[in-house]
Chains A and B, each alone.
Chain A
Amino acid sequence: MLSDREILSTLEMLRNEHLDVRTVTLGVSLFDCAAQDVESFCRKAHRKILSLAERLVDTCNEVGEKYGIPVVNKRIAVSPIAVAAAPFDSREMVAVAHTLDQAAKEAGVDFIGGFSALVEKGFTTGDLSLIEAIPEALAQTERVCASINVASTRAGINMDAVYLMGQTIKEAAAKTSHADGIACAKLCVFANIPQDIPFMAGAYLGVGEPDAVINVGVSGPGVVKKAIDRARSTQPSLDLGQLADIIKRTAFKVTSVGELIGREVARRLDIPFGVVDLSLAPTPNVGDSVGEIFQSLGLRSIGVPGSTALLALLNDAVKKGGAFASSYVGGLSGAFIPVSEDLNIAQAAAEGFLSLEKLEAMTSVCSVGLDMVALPGDVSSETLAAIIADEMAIGVINKKTTATRLIPVPGKKAGEKAHFGGLLGEAVIMPAPKGDLSSGFIKLGGRIPAPTQSLIN
């Protein structure tokens, strides 16, 4: 028999604390769609995606209804297109992007990831075609997301790729200048990209993955915040060790829900279950914010001194609780701090509490990185590349994933607002360093060697 307290606290999490499954992402391998001509590739890819994804949305809704826990987003991640569609030129790559967009639309999903390349050690012709196609592909499509892995702990940082991405981001922004550079909101640059991320925009299906797989992203910053608030109001003397324990217990609950639902979706679709990604992923809604947790734990705002330490505690406690709840934890698994997608973080940036530099410091203890950061439109591609290089270095040296999603907003200056709409939210543009500050370094090119794995300070 369930206790009243168990039943009512579950109801409370659902009704008032935004407990949900943030995303169920279907991974689809496109390697068996390889073809000499782009038409055949697109035809096969379209058919394969839809044959697997046809029932995805309905199944997620049915399972969500059964448990009373909504699956907010249903998404698709495909094999890295730079590999699956390697023989094609950039014009043909844009055609592939259209196919993915169309397949996503027909499957009823809002995003499809995998317009991706892995270039940490060097480029193939497929990689170069894909990167060249990115601005056009992201400008012309609505649902396609792109990610480029430019660095890894074992390969170092491909600085030619870093510079190329700085230029690509500028171009993608220019092609969507009417919409504040929204193409860049669908483009991530990674170090140590995991093969099984269910969250956009970084989701793709890795080379070592099965033909099809269901990965689940759980969230719940609102649940964590409320648990902290409740505990502190009943026991004001709780210290950080005890509060970490409360976060851990909450992460356990959230993860158990994600795994239960993910496994049932996978079973109904007869597709293997992959991983649960334990990330605190916010949305631009009050009560669903990572930034609010900082205030619940006594900081005036995210970004003030103490933020890095607090985030380290939060991120670690989430992992500990989640890892106990599920044996198959993967993806990014950490707190996200996407500026525009979190009302509270966007507010902190607008009020000047959160700077680019502090964000960078914080990303050394959490997942992702400089995520959904709006910058002035006139920031140079060399400065963008240098910001990316710094972020990649944090990931490479610390043997973790880091990423950037930078949006130079065309025609707008620091302090103005950029609007991306929907889940992507809106944000005040942060000041970026001006002038020719880093181009000498960036233009040196080459590859920063992989770090030593001993001597670890």
Chain B
Amino acid sequence: MNSDKVVICVLGSDRPGIVASVSKVLYENRCNIEDVSQTILQSVFAGVFIAGIPEEISLETLHERLQERLAPLGLAALVRPVSPQPVYEPPPREPFVVITIGPDRVGLVAGITEVMARFGVNITNLRAAFRGGTDPHRNVMIYEVDIPLEIDQKAFKKALRDRAEELGLDLSLQHRDIFQAIHRI
């Protein structure tokens, strides 16, 4: 089945020319890029493209053509229709930033995000940031989250702090506006 919009994920070792190769294939197939984002984690490239696709080209064809071009570069591509099903409608919410600092070990992110998921707190951005070089005791994780207004704020904060303590993490939770106030004009 053809859809008028597709999402294409491209994954592989970073090197010059990845975006050029992907966009060239899309161009040759008359796909119009509507939205795009890329990130590089350590040496791994990951890119997400949303593109409009002409009716006469099937997803399979597009996938094959992408693979043809990208496989020699050591890249993998995934093509999916943009789902027509209803998207997640967030409830009224406030943006917060959660920062955890502590020794690295298995299960830190799972532990923290389990509490967030249980309370319906949506993560809008998550990343690791390291302070003090590679000191494993100062492993920093930054979660930007939306906390729904309707949930029990105190219970959530307590659950989060308790979990951080179990995991040996120093946790701070602050409204996002404070970072904006301090750093942005």
Contact = CB atoms under 8 A, between A and B. Distances in A.
A67 B174 CA distance: 5
A2 B99 CA distance: 12
Interface in B119-143: 125, 127, 129, 131, 140, 142
Contacts of B181: 253, 256-257, 259-260
Chain B's interface: helix, strand, loop or mixed, by majority? strand
A11 interface: yes
A8 B140 CA distance: 9
A7 interface: yes
A417 B125 CA distance: 55
B178 A10 contact: yes
B177 A67 contact: yes
A444 interface: no
A68 B97 CA distance: 10
A2 B97 contact: yes
B146 interface: no
A66 interface: yes
A260 B179 contact: no
Contact of B175 (A8, A14, A68): A68
B129 A8 contact: yes
Interface in B161-185: 172-183, 185
A7 B184 CA distance: 12
Interface string A40-79: 0000000000000000000000000011110000000000
Nearest to A258: B181
A259 B173 CA distance: 20
A10 B129 contact: no
A68 B142 contact: no
Nearest to A257: B181
A11 B99 contact: yes
Contacts of B97: 2, 7
Nearest to B140: A8
Chain A's interface: helix, strand, loop or mixed, by majority? helix
A95 interface: no
The interface size bin for chain A is: 20 to 34
A260 B181 CA distance: 7
B178 A4 contact: no
A254 B20 CA distance: 45
A439 to B, nearest CB: 53
A261 to B, nearest CB: 8
B182 A67 contact: no
A259 B140 CA distance: 29
A9 B131 CA distance: 10
Nearest to A256: B181
A8 B182 contact: no
B76 to A, nearest CB: 26
A260 B175 CA distance: 11
A10 B183 contact: yes
Interface of B: 97, 99, 125, 127, 129, 131, 140, 142, 144, 172-183, 185
The 3 nearest A-B residue pairs measured at CB:
A68-B174, A4-B129, A256-B181
